[in-house]
Amino acid sequence: MKNKYEVVIGLEVHSQIKTETKVFCNCSTDFHSQPNTNICPVCTGQPGVLPVLNKKAVELLVKTALALDCSINKKSVFARKQYFYPDLPKNYQISQYELPFAEHGKLNISADGKIKSIGITRIHLEEDAGKLLHEIGSRQLDCSLADYNRTGIPLMEIVSEPDMRSPQEAAAYLTALKNLIEYIETSDCNMEEGKFRCDANISIRPVGQKEFGTKAELKNMNSISGVEEALEYEVQRQIETVENGGKIIQETRTWDPNEKITKSMRSKENAHDYRYFPDPDLVPVNLDDVFIENIKLTIPELPEKRKERLIQEYGLPEYDANVIISDKALVNFYEDALNNTAKDAENIPKLIANWLTTELLGKLNNAKLTIKESPVKAEYLGQLVSFISKGTISGKIAKTVFEEMFNTNKDPETIIKEKGLVQISDENEIIKICQEAADESPKAVAEYKSGKERALGAIVGLVMKKSKGKANPQMVNKILADLLK
C-alpha cells in the first residue's frame, strides 16, 4: 500500500538566534530568569514605543544563511503579521514577508547512504512571542498567566522546499540543520527550551504524479523524533483516508505526543488572514558586500567539509567520520585528542576514534553526561592512546587506566606510575618469567611440543599472571615460542 504513494514533506524551523539582547529592545534573552523580569515598555507593547533593530541578530542570521548557501538580499523589509493572542503584546508580530534577508539555499543530508540536497526557500527574521501558563505543575489555573520574557527574542525562520520524501529524510534534515547551526554557533538549538522548533507540511501523491497533493500542516512536535513520529502517523492517516475514498483537506493539525496522533486544529477556511504589510516603524535594511564578506570570514569549517577532511587527512572510515562530526563538541574533542598524541605513534586516528566512540561515549551515556562534561580530557585520551601505540601499556591495561581516568579525572601517565602499570618490555626479564612459567607447566609444555599449539595459551596465561598483566603480549608469544623450540 505504502509503495503506491509518494510522501512530500517541507519543514519550517524556528531557531532562536543567540543574541545577548532581544531583537527590537535591550532586554536580556536569558532563558532562566524569573517570569516578566526581562521586559520593558517596548517588548510589552506599551503605547508610543518603537522597535530598534538589533544588528547582531541580522549578522547571525546572515551567517546561518551563508552556511546554508543562501543568496542574501541586499535590501530586506520587515512586515507586521497581525493576529490577536495574549502572548503577543502588540497583537502583531514583526516578521518579514516580501524581501526576507535570505533565499535560495540548500542543505545536504544523508538519505539511504546517498547524499541528497534539500532546498532552503527562505530565511527570515522575526520576534518570538511570550509564553502562556495555564497550569502550574499538575494544578490547573482558573486564569492564564503570561510571561513576556521570551517576547521579542530574535528567531530565524528557515523554510525548506518540499524536497523530503520520507519522515526519515525529514529527521535527517533536522539533524543536519541543527548540527550545522550548532557548528556556526548562531543558535543554542536547545529543543527542550524551545530554541529550535519545527512545523511540518506534509502531503501524499500517487507515485508518478507531478502535482502535489493537498497538504496538512503539523504543529506541536517537541523533538526530532517527535517530528518523525508525527510524520509517520500522518503518512498513514493520509494514505488510509485516500484509500478509503476520502479526501485530504488543507488544515493545520496538532501532534499529541501522549496519544501519538495528530488532531485537526483549524481548516483552511478558518485560517488566519495575517494582513501583512511593511512595518512603517522600521526602515528597509540594506546590506552591502563588505558586510556580507566580513560575515563569510566568520564561518568555521562546516560539518560536511570537516567530515571529508577527517576521511582524507586521517584515513578514517566514513562510518567513524559520520559519528564524530554529528556533534561539534565531539569532533573538537576528537581533534584535540589527536593533537595531543605522540607524533611517531602508529594508526593513532583510528585508535582515538575507537576509544572515543565506543569507550568514552559509552561511559558518558551511562553517566548521562555530554561530551563537554567529560571527566576525561581530550588531551588525556590522546596521551592514553599514545601509550598504547608505543607499547608502554597493553590494550588490556589501557582499559584499567581509562576506567581510572574516568573516575578520577587524572591523566594516564600519573595513573600508570601510581599503579605501576608500565608494560614489561625488557627482554631478559620476560625470558626469566617465561622460563619460570614453562618450568611450572610441564604438561602444557609437553602437549605443545607434541604439536598442540593451543597449549601455549595456558603458559602465556601464567606469564601474564606472574607479571600482573604487564608483560608485553607480543614479546611473550615470541619468546615462549623460541624457548620451547
Partner 1 sequence: MNEIIKMSATTLAEKIKNKELSSVEVTKAFIKRAKETDPKIKAYISITEEYAINQAEESDKKIASGAETGELEGVPIAIKDNILIENIKMTASSKILENYTAPYDATVIEKLKKAGAVFIGKTNLDEFAMGSSTENSAFFTTKNPWNTEHIPGGSSGGSASAVSAMTAPLALGTDTGGSIRQPASCCGIVGLKPTYGRVSRFGAVAFASSLDQIGPMSKTVEDSALLLNVIAGFDKKDSTSINVPVPDYLETIKQDIKGLKIGLPKEYFIDGLDSDVKKSIEKAIEIYKKAGAEFVEISLPLTDYAVAVYYIICCSEASANLARYDGVRYGFRAECDNLLDEYQKSRGHGFGPEVKRRIMLGTYALSAGYYDAYYGKAQKVRTLIKQDFENAFKKVDLILTPSAPTPAFKIGEKSSDPLQMYLSDIFTISCNLAAVPGMSIPCGFSEKGIPIGMQLLASNFDEQTMFKAAYSYQQATEWHKQFPNI
Contacts to partner 1 by CB under 8 A: 41, 44-53, 80, 82, 84, 86, 89-92, 146, 273, 275-277, 280-283
The amino acid that residue 356 corresponds to is: L
- Quote the least distance from Cβ 154 to partner 1, whole Å: 16
- Given a contact cutoff of 8 angstroms between Cβ atoms, the answer to whether 338 and 332 are in contact is no
Kind plus residue range of the DSSP H or E element containing 352:
helix 348-354
- Quote the least distance from Cβ 251 to partner 1, whole Å: 18
> In terms of CB distance, is 91 or 225 closer to partner 1?
91
> In terms of CB distance, is 283 or 367 closer to partner 1?
283
- Quote the least distance from Cβ 45 to partner 1, whole Å: 4
| Residues sharing a CB contact under 8 Å with residue 191, sequence separation 6 or more, in sequence order | 197, 222, 223, 224
- Quote the least distance from Cβ 75 to partner 1, whole Å: 15
- Quote the least distance from Cβ 83 to partner 1, whole Å: 9
Nearest to 71 by CA among 245, 233, 256, 296: 296
> In terms of CB distance, is 280 or 395 closer to partner 1?
280
CA gap 33, 109 in Å, rounded: 37
> In terms of CB distance, is 91 or 347 closer to partner 1?
91
Phi and psi at 230, nearest 5°, equal -60, -40
> In terms of CB distance, is 143 or 297 closer to partner 1?
143
Burial class (CB in 10 A: 0-12, 13-18, 19+), 49: middle
Nearest to 284 by CA among 71, 93, 91, 100: 100
> In terms of CB distance, is 50 or 290 closer to partner 1?
50
> In terms of CB distance, is 130 or 303 closer to partner 1?
130
Phi and psi at 322, nearest 5°, equal -60, -45
Looking up cell 500542516, which residue turns up? 217
- Quote the least distance from Cβ 137 to partner 1, whole Å: 23
> In terms of CB distance, is 52 or 367 closer to partner 1?
52
Cell of 56: 547582531
Cell of 480: 615462549
- Quote the least distance from Cβ 41 to partner 1, whole Å: 5
- Quote the least distance from Cβ 86 to partner 1, whole Å: 5
Question: 3-state DSSP call for residue 169?
Answer: helix
CA gap 430, 187 in Å, rounded: 58
DSSP state of 282: S
Strands (DSSP E) contained in 19-130 are 71-72, 75-76, 79-82, 92-95, 102-111, 114-127
